[in-house]
Structures are given as C-alpha cells and as structure tokens.
Chains A and B, each alone.
Chain A
Amino acid sequence: MEKLPSHTKARHFGMVIDLDKCTGCASCMVACYSENNVSFRDEESIKLLSINWIQVYKITNGKPFPDTEVCYLPQPCMQCDGKDFGHPPCVSVCPAVATDFDTPTGIVSQIPVRCFGCRYCMAACPYHARKFNWWDPVWPADMERYLSPDVSPRMRGVIEKCTFCYHRFQRARQQAYYKGDAENIKEADYQTACTQACPSGAITFGDMDNPDHAVYTLKKSRYAFRLLERLGTQPSVYYLSTRKWVHRACDNYLEHEEPAAFAGKSA
C-alpha cells in the first residue's frame, strides 16, 4: 500500500447490486469480456476453467415446487478493504507485490506482468474472484484487432481479476485534468462496463464516501449486506435483497442466528 500522492484526493469506489432486480441475463459478463479483453476458450462448458471478472451465480432456496425461489447473484471482485483500509486477504499474501491496495480509489490493483503465477492470492480470496491463465489467450480470426488498447491483455501463467474498470477512472481523471479541475470527477464520468450494461439497473456504482453518489445511500439500506461479511474482509461490493433466505445463503449462519436485517422479525 503506497501512501497517497500529495495532490490526490482519496476516494472509495464501491458497488451496490440489487439482487431483487437481477434477472440473471449475464449482460454484465458479456460487457466485461469485451471491455477488459478477457480471453475465452473454444470449449467454455467447463466453467471451472473459465476466466471471467464478473460471474453470475444461481442460488435457490432449496424448497420443493410451490415454494421454490431462485436468485441470481452477479459477483465481481469484492475489492476488499481488509483490515485498516488497505490489507485485503490477497494483497497480504502476494510475494511479488503484483497485487496491491490502491489507496486513492480503494480498488485492489492487479498487474499481470508482475505476477509470476504462484496463485497464493487465489487461495487467499474467499470469493473465488481471481482467475488463473492456464493457457495463452487465443483470439479467433481477426478479433485481436478489436481488443481494447486501454487494458493490457494477459498471458499464460498469471492471475487476473476485476479492476472496477480502472482504465475508465483513468480516462475520467484525464479529462478532468484537461478541463482544469483534476478532482472534479462526477458520478457519470466513471462507471464500470457491467453497471452500464445491466438492462434492469440492478448494479449501481460510485464513490461510497461521496453523499452525491447513489451508492452512498444505497449501501446504508436496511437490506444491504456483503458476502461472507463476518470474515472481516470489508468488501466494497454490497448486495440488496428483501428476501431472508438470500441473506442466509450469502453468509454462514447458525440455526438460531438471524441475518441482521431480519433480526427480531418473523419474515
């Protein structure tokens, strides 16, 4: 964790995903693949070998027919703050400083060319957010010419993960500098690809420390929770759901325990 440059204002970007709005269409995944030059293989049916920066999981309440409920859960990198705003689980174990906590934005950085592929971070991440390149990416036909120059493509033997489209932050900041007010980055200036692609508006993104941004209020909702929150990883991704079983499915609760949002109520 590098100390903040003297001219930079600290921000804390985060995401709020409304699970009651998500239809599981996976537009976010498609947008992410094309935005971030994420490679794919000829055979993508074995999902354990897939590389994706955001993945839509399907969870059910496990009840038989009339009571069956399904929830789709889009899961990017949680961009954990970890202990003391700067010690996410993956950063603490990286022996190469290939991944680091980006203090100006609260985003966990990943520099693939610096990574030597030990995969400690993969083991340390409780969210399976990190993916390993077992093969060099192969782009079909002339697709290589459609790659984004803003995101460096990865090679065999390195880890990659969601960066909250950091290049879009760079783009927004570049424009702000050009306009003469470097710190004036509005909510709409920096949005991730998945946020913009979501047709049902389930994903909201912004600076969680800025009261003008929607995430500031949304994350304070009574129905907001985070994945495996009690591990103390301090994720920057919040989920919203009014369904109790969804809350229960996203953390480990004992029989008698109730999710915080439903404590003392019979929902």
Chain B
Amino acid sequence: MSTQTDNTSNTPSNAPSPKKGATGWVILAFFVIGFGFSLLGGWVGFPNMLYKEVPHPIDFNHALHMDLVFDGCNSCHYFRADGSFSGAPTLNECRDCHQFVMGTDPNEEKFVEEYVLQDKEVPWNIFAKQPDNVYFSHAPHVKGAGMDCAACHGDIGTSESLRPYQENRITGYSRDIWGWEMSRLGEPKYAPRMKMMDCVNCHVEQTDSKGSCFQCHK
C-alpha cells in the first residue's frame, strides 16, 4: 500500500495486505517489551548479580551505646597518639564493659558467648573500606578540616540496628563505595558515596585542587 508510514517501513513489503499496519504495531510492542526487560535486567537484576548481601556478625545498636558512653563517637572510635585512627574497636576494647552478659539483648548474649568468652575478634563488616592502593587519614579531615563523622559515614551513630551490608562479588568491596543507587544520581541512600571522584569533588570545592596522586594513593 502506498499509505505506509515510516515506523512500519522495515517490515517485509512483498505482500501488500490490509494487515500490514498491524504488523508494525506488533513489532513495536515486542520492541517495547524487550526494551523494558533489558532495562529491568540492568537496573534490578544486575545489582543483585553484582552484589551479595553479607550478614553482620552482630547487629550492633549504636543508639544504645551512645546513651551510655561519655565522649560520643570518640569513646570507641578514637585517634591514637601518632594521629592514626582506631576504626572499629577491637575485642579488648569491647571487653572493658562486656566481660559478662549485662543486658537481655540476644545480640549481646551472642557477642559474649561467641566472641568474648572464646577470645575471638569480631569480623565486623566495614562499610567504608577502601582498596589497598588508597591512602586515607582521618586526622586531616576531622582535626584539620573539622568535619563531623556523619559527613562521610551518615547517621549510623544514631541507628538502633546496622544497615544492610552488601559486597561486590568481583572486587569484594562494600556497596557503599559505589553507592546504593546504580545510577549514582540523587541523594545517597545511607551515606555519601566514596568513589575517587566523590573525594575529588569535595577536595576541589574545599581546597581548590584535587591534590596530586600521592596525596591519596600509594
């Protein structure tokens, strides 16, 4: 037929028939459905393929501890005298208080029985763990620039339960590094994203330079 439109011009034209317009719509429909599935696979399926959920050894209650300690975050995550940062507390530090089960929380019971009494370090999941070739020091950021813990770590300090931890199946890094949104758009879900450009953007804003390679790499 001579009334063909552009969107059907890719259909076979050897058998002119009144159904021809309909064939075009069917092809378009299949394309749309296929495209939808691809998008769904990319945005929903792929992250699940790439990341696996890793359970926390202990569901730590930050809010509960914050009420009991004197110096906020610094009570357990502190600077050493040489300026290095302690990070997650070791068993010895926890043991100062948790020699025996003190409360009724099943998590504390599990902690004391499985780790304290067996003298075993807790294999905490570290949300912000960076690759080996990255140099990061807390001192310039916290002492030098006066940043809050929450500026990079989110409001984990007030949480009653640990947020989910996912690990990249290929690299073994935490999902927090890329960010939970695959598109990396919009407000981050839990805490600021920690890819190199995320560091760079803030450094350019604050110091007018992204710094030389050695400033952050080794």
Contacts and interface: CB of A to CB of B under 8 A. Distances in A.
B140 A182 contact: yes
Contacts of B208: 3, 5-6
Nearest to A99: B213
A109 B214 contact: yes
A104 B212 contact: yes
Interface residues of A, number: 39
B213 A102 contact: yes
Contacts, number: 93
Given A171-B82, A178-B79, A109 B212 contact: yes
The listed residue with most B CB atoms (<10 A of its CB), out of A104, A178, A179, is: A178
Contacts of A105: 214
Contacts of A102: 212-215
Given A152-B132, A152-B133, A3 B209 contact: yes
Interface in B164-218: 203, 207-215, 217-218
Contacts of A97: 213
Q: Is the interface of B mostly helix, strand, loop or mixed?
A: loop
B84 interface: yes
A100 interface: yes
19 contacts: A2-B210, A4-B209, A97-B213, A102-B213, A111-B213, A152-B218, A163-B214, A166-B214, A167-B135, A173-B140, A174-B82, A174-B139, A176-B83, A177-B143, A177-B144, A178-B79, A178-B143, A179-B83, A182-B140
Interface of A: 1-8, 97, 100-105, 107, 109, 111-114, 150-153, 163, 166-167, 170-171, 173-180, 182
Given A113-B217, A173-B140, 11 more contacts: A5-B208, A7-B207, A8-B207, A100-B212, A102-B214, A107-B214, A112-B133, A114-B217, A170-B137, A174-B82, A178-B82
